[in-house]
Amino acid sequence: MTQGNVVLDIEGLSKRFGGVQAVLDLSFQVRAGEILGVIGPNGSGKTTMFHLVTGFHRPDRGHVRFFGREITGLAPHRVCALGLCRTFQVAKPFPEITVHRNVLMGALLHHPDPDAAATRAEEVLRRVGLDGRAQMAAGSLTTIDQRRLEVARALATEPKLLLLDETMAGLNPTEVGEAIRLISGLREQGLTVVVVEHVMRAVMSLSDRIVVLDQGTKIAEGNPQEIASDPRVIQAYLGKEYQRA
């Protein structure tokens, strides 16, 4: 994998909620064309980091730059309009309208004409394998299909960088395999992707590089082999006493 230009530059990001320091002085970069995995134990700040980058929370300190442009504190819709789109850990479909219309909402961003957006939405649904469910109400989808829908809606906004928040949580092993194929397919189409993920198998096989968070800070960064053998990572996940085992 060739290392491209810096797409996303996170520098010194910090956020405190009351007495909890959710993210502390976090810095890393995402390069064009790569899949960057972000892992860490529960509560290590992964989702907060997504919220800070996409404008759902405003950081206390630090900077977020997207293609060199300062986007710190921009409203979520403006971040998305610039080409940085995210999915949610807990799927947030528009439950009472059809799957197709859900995706159309994303497509309208760059295709203001609803007819053009509808055509675009059909293409995206085929791409993620949801075309058979296009006319179902989004609220009645199964877990895997709701995740597909999250990805489909995000893709419909034609992002340059896609942030996927625990897309595979709760999926069975077969479905994880499908999700891995889908995401690596996105990279082949030229998309840069950041995946926050708990499913180790998925992170290890998908990611070009991995950033490990613990208690809101970065404790390791490297390719999957380096991360798997990093003593700090093993300690963060399994505790100190397992370190020498």
Partner 1 sequence: MKAALTPDRYVPAAILLFLLVLPWLLPNPFYVHIIVMMAVFVILGGAWNIISGYAGQLSLGHAAFFGTGAYVSTLLVNAYGLSPWVTMWLGGVAALLLSLPMGLICFRLQGPYFTIATIGLAEALRLLVLHFREITNGAQGLTVPFRGSAPWHLQFDSKLPYYYIALAMAICVLLLTRRMEQSRLGHYLVAIGQNQDAAEALGIDSAGAKRRALMLSAFLTGMAGVFYAQYTYVIHPDGAFGLGLSIQIALVAIVGGVGTILGPAIGAVILELFIQSTQIIFADQYPGLELMVYGGLLVGVILWRPRGVFSWFHRVYQALVARLPSPGRAGS
Q: Provide, rounded to whole angstroms, the least separation between the CB of residue 62 and partner 1.
A: 21
For position 81 contacting partner 1 by CB under 8 A, the verdict is yes
Question: Is residue 227 near partner 1 by the rule CB under 8 A?
Answer: no
The C-alpha atoms of residue 173 and residue 136 are separated, in whole angstroms, by 25
The yes or no reply on residue 134 touching partner 1 (CB under 8 A) is no
Q: Is 85 in the site for partner 1 (CB under 8 A)?
A: yes
Q: Is the dihedral of CA 65, 69, 70, 76 positive or negative?
A: negative
Look at the block and give the residue holding tokens 């976090």: 26
112 makes contact with partner 1 (CB under 8 A): yes
72 in contact with partner 1 (CB under 8 A): no
- Among 157, 167, 192, 207, interactor with partner 1 by CB under 8 A: 157
Nearest CB to partner 1, comparing residues 81 and 171: 81
Minimum CB distance to partner 1, residue 226 (Å) = 32
> Which residue's CB is nearer to partner 1, number 67 or number 88?
88
Secondary structure (DSSP) of 40-107: -STTSSHHHHHHHHTTSS--SEEEEEETTEE-TT--HHHHHHTTEEE--SS----TTSBHHHHHHHHH
- Segment lying near partner 1 (by CB under 8 A), choices 16-24, 95-103, 215-223, 236-244: 95-103
Alpha-carbon distance of 216 to 15, in angstroms, equals: 9
Q: How far is the CB of 245 from partner 1 (least distance, A)?
A: 42
Min separation Cβ 94 and partner 1, Å: 4
Q: Is 137 in the site for partner 1 (CB under 8 A)?
A: no
DSSP-assigned states of every residue in 103-137: HHHHHTTT--SHHHHHHHHHHHHHHHT-GGGTTSB
Supply the minimum distance, in Å, between the C-beta of residue 63 and partner 1. Answer: 21
SS3 labels along 186-238: HHHCCCEEEEECCCHHHHHHHCCEEEEEECCEEEEEECHHHHHCCHHHHHHHH
Q: How far is CA 112 from the centre of its chain?
A: 26
67 binds partner 1 (CB under 8 A): no
Considering only 4, 12, 73, 114, the residue that binds partner 1 (CB under 8 A) is 114
Cα separation, 72 vs 66, whole angstroms = 9
Tell how far CA 156 is from the center of its chain: 15
Size of the site for partner 1 (CB under 8 A): 32
- Taking CB under 8 A as the binding criterion, the range among 30-38, 153-161, 190-198, 226-234 that sits at the site for partner 1 is 153-161
Q: Minimal distance in Å, beta carbon 178 to partner 1? A: 23
Beta bridge partners of 20: 17
Residues that bind partner 1 (CB under 8 A): 54, 56, 75-78, 80-81, 85-88, 92-97, 101, 104-106, 108-109, 112-114, 117, 153-154, 156-157
